[in-house]
């Protein structure tokens, strides 16, 4: 059993839909196919969710979403009207019905009830294409398989219930199982998303439950590279990586794998491949339980749009365990993730991604006890297996706000 995951960055054209089907037909059986929303559709549905929650008109954005999907249908099928009626139109009718209701509160709850439809629509399009091509498959709504808590926008998996549901499907003999990434359903029956870019994690969940042989994540790059090819023109492919190394890279912000993906796979020693969607015969990158990594050069990770925040107790008391606990309790309350932290005698400094609504709420809550300073529009640079030349390359011409060096990793907050 192989679990395949296809991301929205790939699924942006009729050619990609055809190629996905070709890759599946050429691969081994049985297999699970996990897909994300089509290109940019998650962003579009986020705008719909915000407008719905704020009681604004959702139709302009919904028109764009319908138009994008109908254009794909027109370019894929000789009779687009008939193709549209089969699976896509009913989903849009369902979305319309949801948008007529009052949105639940808080916003994260409402967000998940809308944004989940990006993935539902992508599988609706693929179901239409599979049936048009005579491909035998079994469709499963991922919300009927992955059971979560009610931590909206980053649902926690209820593993016992999920394993039971997934194994019930996996025991069947269908050639292909088609389902979604990123989404599940709470024990209370509402849609829940698993965290932005969480389709990788979904593939790992299914692989764990099925005791799969491998997971293949398909991307539009040859494998995992030592830097983002959009930012660096001299990247090289990393052929072999360990679970530990990949989870470090993901934690530091590398865009290759969702950070939660590795744990379920490592727990059952299931290899993970990152493969080239447009060149499936390529060697890709294999991630497994390697004890010794082959020698490689530096790996570069950039996170833009960062904010550096410093908390200083107003009574000039030391930053000790109780103070740190108080600050982190507030960070958890406002669901702000720390990308880097550093503290001195009377100041704790953190680097976070700029979600200014949450940051402003945090600052207002902390002001009675702390003096709060912050800088915005920064970038966080991480160099794994750094060299002096690599550091010079990434910091040249920049103001270093914070720097941290450990045995294998150099990190800089830069202005």
Residue 268 lies in a domain: no
Residue 141 lies in a domain: yes
Whether 212 and 116 map to the same domain: the answer is yes
Q: How far apart are CA 152 and CA 120, in angstroms?
A: 18
Q: Which of 382, 372, 146, 106 is nearest to 245 (CA)?
A: 382
Whether 309 and 191 map to the same domain: the answer is no
Q: What is the pLDDT along the chain (415 residues), one digit of tens a residue?
A: 899 999 988 999 999 999 999 888 776 668 999 999 999 999 999 999 999 999 999 999 999 999 999 999 999 999 999 999 999 999 999 999 999 999 999 999 999 999 999 999 999 999 999 999 999 999 999 999 999 999 999 999 999 999 999 998 876 666 799 999 999 999 999 999 999 888 999 999 999 999 999 999 999 889 999 998 888 889 999 999 999 999 999 889 887 788 899 999 999 999 999 999 999 999 999 999 988 878 788 999 999 999 999 999 999 999 999 999 999 999 999 999 999 999 999 999 999 999 999 999 999 999 999 999 999 999 999 999 999 999 999 999 999 999 999 999 999 999 9
Q: What domain range includes position 339?
A: 299-414
Residue 259 φ then ψ, to 5°: -55, -30
Residue at a domain's end among 185, 219, 253: 219
Using alpha carbons only, what angle is made at residue 383 by residues 378 and 386, rounded to the nearest 5 degrees? 140
Q: How far apart are CA 408 and CA 368, in angstroms?
A: 39
Residue 267 lies in a domain: no
Whether 68 and 211 map to the same domain: the answer is yes
Question: Per residue, what are the HEC states of the chain?
Answer: CEEEEECCCCCCCHHHHHHHHHHHHHCCCCEEEEECCCCCHHHHHHHHHHHHHCCCCCHHHHHHHHHHHHHHHHHHCCCHHHHHHHHHHHHHHHHHHHHCCCCCCCHHHHHHHHHCHHHHHHHHHHHHHHHHCCCCCEECCHHHCCEECCCCCCCCECHHHHHHHHHHHHCCCCCEEEEECCEEEECCCCEEECCCCCHHHHHHHHHHHHCCCEEEEEECCCCCECCCCCCCCCCCECCEEEHHHHHHHHHHCCCCCCHHHHHHHHHCCCCEEEEECCCCCCCCEEEECCCCCCCCCCEEEEEEEEEEEEEEECCCCCCCHHHHHHHHHHHHHCCCCEEEEEECCCCEEEEEECCHHHHHHHHHHHCCCEEEEEEEEEEEEEEECCCHHHHHHHHCCCCEEEEEECCCEEEEEEC
Give the pLDDT of residue 255.
77
Residue at a domain's end among 190, 219, 248: 219
Give the pLDDT of residue 259.
83
Residue 240 lies in a domain: no
Q: How far apart are CA 58 and CA 62, in angstroms?
A: 6
Whether 199 and 308 map to the same domain: the answer is no
Residue 246 lies in a domain: no
Residue 210 lies in a domain: yes
385-401: string of b/e by CB count within 10 Å (b at 16+)? bbeeebbeebbeeeeeb
Measured CA distances, 319 to 247, 316, 351, 368 (Å): 30, 9, 17, 16
Whether 325 and 192 map to the same domain: the answer is no
Residue 77 lies in a domain: yes
Q: What is the CATH number of the domain that holds 339?
A: 3.30.2130.10
**How many structural domains does the chain have?**
2
pTM above 0.85, yes or no: yes
126 burial type by CB count under 10 A (0-12 exposed, 13-18 middle, 19+ buried): buried
Residue at a domain's end among 199, 219, 239: 219
Whether 157 and 10 map to the same domain: the answer is yes
Q: Which of 239, 243, 242, 227 is nearest to 276 (CA)?
A: 239
Whether 14 and 158 map to the same domain: the answer is yes
| CB proximity list for 32: less than 8 A, separation 6 or greater | 1, 2, 3, 4, 176, 177, 179, 203, 206, 210, 212
Give the pLDDT of residue 173.
60
Start-to-end CA distance of the chain, whole Å, equals: 48
Give the pLDDT of residue 193.
98
- Upstream peptide bond of 106 is cis (omega within 30 degrees of 0): yes
Q: What is the CATH number of the domain that holds 59?
A: 3.40.1160.10
Residue 376 lies in a domain: yes
Whether 53 and 184 map to the same domain: the answer is yes
Residues across the chain: 415
R_g over Cα of the chain? 23
Whether 164 and 26 map to the same domain: the answer is yes
Whether 199 and 78 map to the same domain: the answer is yes
Whether 207 and 325 map to the same domain: the answer is no
């Amino acid at each position: 059993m192989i679990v395949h995951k296809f991301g929205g960055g790939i699924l942006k054209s009729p050619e990609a839909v055809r190629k996905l089907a070709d890759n599946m037909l050429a691969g081994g059986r049985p297999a699970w196919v996990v897909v994300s929303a089509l290109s940019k559709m998650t962003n579009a549905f986020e705008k719909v969710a915000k407008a719905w929650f704020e009681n604004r008109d959702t139709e302009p954005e919904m028109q764009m979403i319908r138009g994008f999907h109908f254009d794909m249908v027109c370019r894929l099928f000789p009779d687009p009207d008939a193709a549209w009626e089969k699976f896509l139109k009913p989903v849009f009718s369902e979305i319309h019905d949801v948008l007529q209701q009052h949105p639940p509160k808080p916003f994260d709850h409402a967000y998940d009830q809308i944004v989940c439809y990006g993935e539902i629509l992508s599988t609706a399009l693929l179901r239409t294409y599979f049936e048009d091509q005579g491909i035998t498959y079994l469709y499963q709504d991922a919300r009927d398989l992955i059971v979560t808590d009610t931590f909206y926008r980053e649902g926690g998996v209820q593993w016992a219930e999920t394993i039971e549901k997934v194994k019930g499907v996996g025991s069947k003999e269908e050639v292909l199982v088609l389902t979604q990434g990123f989404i599940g359903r709470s024990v209370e029956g509402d849609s829940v998303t698993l965290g932005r870019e969480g389709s990788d994690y979904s593939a790992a969940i299914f692989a764990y439950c099925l005791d799969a042989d491998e997971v293949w994540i398909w991307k539009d790059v040859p494998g995992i590279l030592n830097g983002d090819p959009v930012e660096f023109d001299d990247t090289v492919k990393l052929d072999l990586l360990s679970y530990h190394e990949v989870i470090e890279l993901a934690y530091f912000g590398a865009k290759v794998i969702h950070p939660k993906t590795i744990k379920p796979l490592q727990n059952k020693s299931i290899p993970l491949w990152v493969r080239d969607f447009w060149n499936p015969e390529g060697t890709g990158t294999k991630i497994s339980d390697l004890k010794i990594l082959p020698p490689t050069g530096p790996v570069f990770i950039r996170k833009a749009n960062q904010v550096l925040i410093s908390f200083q107790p107003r009574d000039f008391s030391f930053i000790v365990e109780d103070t740190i606990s108080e600050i982190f309790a507030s960070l958890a309350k406002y669901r702000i993730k720390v990308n880097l932290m550093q503290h001195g005698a009377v100041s704790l400094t953190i680097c976070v991604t700029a979600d200014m609504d949450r940051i402003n709420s945090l600052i207002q809550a902390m002001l009675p006890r702390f003096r709060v300073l912050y800088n915005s529009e920064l970038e966080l640079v991480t160099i794994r297996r750094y060299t002096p030349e690599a550091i010079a390359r990434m910091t040249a011409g920049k103001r270093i706000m914070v720097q941290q060096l450990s045995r294998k990793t150099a990190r800089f907050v830069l202005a």
